[in-house]
Structure 1
Amino acid sequence: MTTERRVLITGASIAGPTLAYWLARSAHAVTVVERAPSPRLGGQNIDIRGPGREVVRRMGLEDALFAATTTEQGTRFVDRRGVTIAAFPAGTADSGGATAELEILRGELARILVDASGPDVEYRYGDRVVGCVQDAQGVDVTFERGAPERYDLVVFADGVRSGSREIVFPGEAVTRDLGLYTAYGVLPRTPDDDAWWRWYNATGGRVAGLRPDNQGTTRFSLSWSSGPTGLERAGQSEVVAALRTTFAGAGWETPRILESLDSASELYVDRLAQVRAPRWSSGRVAMVGDAAWCATPVSGMGTTLAIAGAYVLAAELARTDDHRAAFTAWDARMRPFVDTAQSLPPGTPRLAHPKTAVGLVVFNSAVRLAGSAPVRALAGRFGGSDDANLDLSDYR
C-alpha cells in the first residue's frame, strides 16, 4: 500500500482494538469511537484459541495475556449438592477443551489490546456513529456528540446488535435465535470457590456456573431456555426480578447468586443469537467481529473470530490501495472459517439445558461417562471448532 488512509472503527472491545493495532502498523491513521463512557473492564470469562492465539503471538502479547489469565484449571459438572459428576482439565495447547489454555476476562483482554495499539491510535469514548454517507472518494460520518468528519474507510466492530450496522446494511444481517438467555455477574469469593469452572444443571432448562477470575472475586453465569421476552433491553430492576423468578428453587449455589443481586450489581444479560450477513462490506464501509458474524458464546469461537478476522482484514488492506479488492479477498479468506465456527452441533444449546427430570438424568449420565468417545466429542465441541483452518498469511 502506498497511500495513508484515515480509518474510523466503531467499538473498543476485541475486534476494534485488534484491527486498530494492525492498521496503525501499516501507516493508517486510525480513530476508534466507543459508545461506553470509559473502557469496559471486567466482564465474563472468554478464551483465545487456534488462529486467535497465533495473532496475539504476532502482536507480542501472549506473555501479557497469560499474566492476566483467570487461573481456571478446568471444568467440573456438579450436582445440586456440589458433588462432581465429571471433570475436564483445561487444555494444554492452542485449542481444545471446555476450559482453554488461555482464559481471560473480556475487559482485561480489551485493556491489553487498547494499550498495545499505541499512541498513534485515537480512542474516543462516550460517542457513537449515527450517520454515514459515502461517495467514490470517502465517507462522511455523523456522530451523536462529536462534529461530523470525513474518513477514507469505516469499519463497524460494535457487537451483535450493532446500531451502526443498520445504517449501512439495513435489514441485511439475519439473526439465528438460539432460544437461550444468559446473564453474567460478579460475586464475592468464598473459601469454597476454587480454580475450576463449576457447571450445574437444574430442570426447566436452567444452568448456573461459577468461574474463577484474577481479581479476587468469582464470576457467575445463569443461562435458561426461553422464548424472546425482551429482557436483553430491560432495566436492571426488571432483570433482577426475572432472574429471581426464573431460578427460584433451582438449587446448588443459585440462592447465593440471587441474594447478591441488587440495583448496583455488575450484571449483563443477553439473548443468544448468531449473525449471518450475505456481505461484510459496502463500498468503503465494512463490519467485523460480532457485528458481522456473531457465533455466540456456545460456539467457543467468538473471541478467536474477532481477533483473527481483524488481523486478516488489516492484512488485506495493507496489500493494496484498492479497498474493494481488499474487502473481497478478506471475505474469501474468512467466510469458510466463520461458517465452520457457526456450525454448532445438532441440538446445541438445547441438549445442554434439559428441561425435564428425565432429560437431566440423561444429560448427567452422559457427562459422567467422561472416558467414552461420545463425551470426549461433547467436551471438544464445548471448546469450539478445533478443526477449522484459516490462512493467516502475513502482510506482503
Structure 2
Amino acid sequence: MPSRPVFSLVAGEPSGDLLAGLLMDGLQTRWPEVASVGIGGPQMLARGFQSWWPMDKLAVRGYIEVLRHYAEIASIRRQLKARLLREWPQLFIGVDAPDFNLDLEAGLRSRGIRTVHFVCPSIWAWRPERIDKIRAAADHVLCIFPFEPALLASHGVQASYVGHPLAQVIPAQPDAAAARQALGLREDAAVVALLPGSRRSEMRYLAARFFEAAALMRQARPELQFICPVVPSLLPEMTQLLQASPMAGQVTLLQGQSHAALAACDVTLIASGTATLEAALFKRPMVIAYNMNRMSWRLMHRQQLQPWVGLPNILCEDFVVPELLQDAATPKALAEATLEWLQSPQKVQALQARFGRLHEELRRDTPSLCAEAVAQVLAA
C-alpha cells in the first residue's frame, strides 16, 4: 500500500457514525497516515474524516419514506461511485446502511476495488434473500454478534466477529449519580428517558405519542423527571413537537447526550433500533416501541423471521422487555408498561443481571479486530 493509504467509508445514521468512529480508531492506529473520505457524521469528522455529503441525507427509514427520497439518495450513490472509481481508494468500507451500501459495494467490487461491510445485515431476523447481495458486495463482513460468522460462512461469505463496539464504550457499571448531576437532575425522584429515534421519520411517528405517554405517567407519578436526548439537527423540530404536547415545559430536551440520558435514567421508553442495545448495555429496563407508515409496517412485518423486533429480546431469545409496535403503541399502553418497571424492583434486578451477561458476551477489542481483518483483506 502507499505510505498514505486512502480508505472510503459510508455511514448513514448516528449509530453507524459511532461504529465507524471506533473502526477509524483501529485503522489510524495501524496506519497512522491513513486518509478517510466518503459520507459520515460527527464521530467520524472528529477523527479527521472528509465527508462529501451530509450524513443526514441518508438517514431515512421505512419503505415508503425511502421511496419519497429515492431520487436524491440514488443520485448521491451514483455520484459517490463515480468519484470513487476516479480516485480509487485502497478499500471501501460500508458501515451498516445496507440498502445504500450493498449496491454501492457490489458496483465497486465488480470494478476491482476491495470492499468490507461492517455490521452483518439482519438476515437472521428478516430479508434472508439479502445473503446473495452480501456475497456479491463484500470481500469480508465485520460481524458484531458472535453467531453471525458461521451463518455467513455457510453461504460462502468470509466474515470475522469483532465484538460490538458499544460493549467496549459503555462501562459495565454506569455511574447513574454522576450522570444525573451532569444533567442537573434530582437524586430524589425517578428519571424516565424518552428516546423516540434518531431519524426524522421516527421522530414524527413516535415523539407525540411518547410525550402523551409521559403526560399519563406524570398524572400517576407527579414526581417523575423526564429527559429526551435529541440529534442536534432535529432539535428545532423536537422542540416544536414538545411545545404542542401536554408535556410542554415538563421534559428536558438534551442536545445529543443519549448515553448520559441512559446512564441517568431508571427506565427508558425507546424506539426500536440500535439504541435499545445501548440501553441494555447500560443495564436499563425499557419499553420498546415503534410506529411507522402503515404500508411500510405491513411490508416489514411480512418479512419478519423471529417473534422479536427489539435487539435485547433477539439476543436473549426471549421477551425480556416489552415490545409495543404499531397499533399497540398507544400512549396508555406505553405509559402503563413503563410504570410497571418502576413498580417491580426484583424484576429490574433480574433483567440487569441478564444484561450484564450479554455485555460480557459482546465485549471485544473491536478497533484492533477490525483493523486486523482489514489488513487481511488488503493482503489477500
TM-score, normalisation: structure 1: 0.37
Q: Which protein has the bigger helix share?
A: 2
Q: Which structure shows the bigger proportion of residues in strand conformation?
A: 1
Q: Compare relative contact order (CA 8 Å, sep 6+) and give the higher one, 1 or 2.
A: 1
TM-score by length of 2: 0.38
